[in-house]
Amino acid sequence: MSVIVHQIARPHGWPTADQFAYTEVPTPTPGAGEALVENMYLSVDPYMREAMDDRELGVPMEGRSIGRVVDSRASGLTAGDLVFHRQGWRSHAIITPDEARVLPEPPGVPITAYLGVLGGTGLSAYVGLTKIARLRPDETVFISAAAGGVGSAAGQIARLLGARRVIGSTGSAAKAEHLVNTLGFDAAVDYTAGDLAARLTAEAPDGLDVYFDNVGGDHLEAAITAMRDHGRIAWCGAVAQYNAVTAPAAPRNLFDVVGKQLRLEGFLVRDHRHLQPELEEFLAPHLRSGRVVVDQTVVDGITDIVDAFLTMLRGGNTGKMIVSV
């Protein structure tokens, strides 16, 4: 039998477990040109909350997945191949060759890295820093939601790119300690302690050159306050508003973008997937050497994927949240 997880209702504010349904169906059989994949790891990501507002109901949640081909009638896909696909929250998936990527299995690189630092989260961090913000050596960078999947990757990539000072924000003292002691951030700010702008300015007295934004709202306002003239902001996400019934107010100092001649640019990683080989070439040696940490929280069992998703939205993970099927 195969397990599929559907979204059956739309959230108003924070999502709840009763907006999802687990369904058991017979394990599908591949047709001509298709392959059957037994999934090993499934991704849960913040963007899924935003997608819940307008996606089709009664169908499996879409998302990044890694599994093994167990039966194939498709050229280019062989039983035993490790593959990446986007068929989402299910124990088994039928895929075609153009819907999957056969993954390499280099020694010293865990499979789960392809859902984290070598996957969409890592690619988001890499694109935001190198192509959008164009981080240069000896610059100071601030990363919000730094203990999450994208943020933890961005901090480590910024260090590899030669940043002089890497500062992160997170929601607890324990996570702040993790950022500094495990991931190599120079400083971490617990935003729940209050007065984020003042505390950020204290950590970057000479100002910020780059801000990698995963939050929006008060974090964007604080970063604008601390930015140096001609600074750059790469806007990747806005977790501050994904679950809000009404959108938070825009930063009160938004006009300082003009006064400081800042550049603020939003981006979607889906427009930069062609850079995946570049990301892997850049990071793989550092993963093998241990210089880059595969920072992740792994939850066991597909029947706990909804709980993992809700926990991630409330900041209950460190690094990338992944479900082991």
pTM of this prediction? Answer: 0.93
Q: What is the dihedral of CA 182, 184, 186, 189, to 10 degrees?
A: -40
Please report, for the chain, the start and end positions of each structural domain, with discontinuous segments joined by +: 2-116+295-324, 120-270
Write down the pLDDT at residue 243. Answer: 74
Q: Considering all CA atoms of the chain, what is the largest pairwise distance in Å, rounded to the nearest integer?
A: 63
120-270 is a CATH 3.40.50.720 domain: yes
Tens digit of pLDDT per residue, the chain (325 long)? 999 999 999 999 999 999 999 999 999 999 999 999 999 999 999 999 989 999 899 988 899 999 999 999 999 999 999 999 999 999 999 999 999 999 999 888 999 999 999 999 999 999 999 999 999 999 999 999 999 999 999 999 999 999 999 999 999 999 999 999 999 999 999 999 989 999 999 999 999 999 999 999 999 999 999 999 999 999 998 887 777 666 667 799 999 999 999 999 999 999 999 999 999 999 999 999 999 999 999 999 999 999 999 999 999 999 999 999 9
Write down the pLDDT at residue 245. Answer: 61
Write down the pLDDT at residue 136. Answer: 97
Place of tokens 């409330």: 314
**Per-position b or e across 148-176, b if 16+ CB within 10 A of its CB:** bbbbbbbbbbbbebebebbbbbbbeeebb
CB 44 within 8 A of CB 31: no
Topology of domain 2-116+295-324, CATH: Quinone Oxidoreductase; Chain A, domain 1 (3.90.180)
Write down the pLDDT at residue 137. Answer: 97
Write down the pLDDT at residue 107. Answer: 87
Write down the pLDDT at residue 131. Answer: 98
Place of tokens 């890499």: 126
Task: Assess whether the region 2-116+295-324 and the region 120-270 belong to the same CATH fold.
Answer: no
| Tokens describing residue 210 | 């780059």
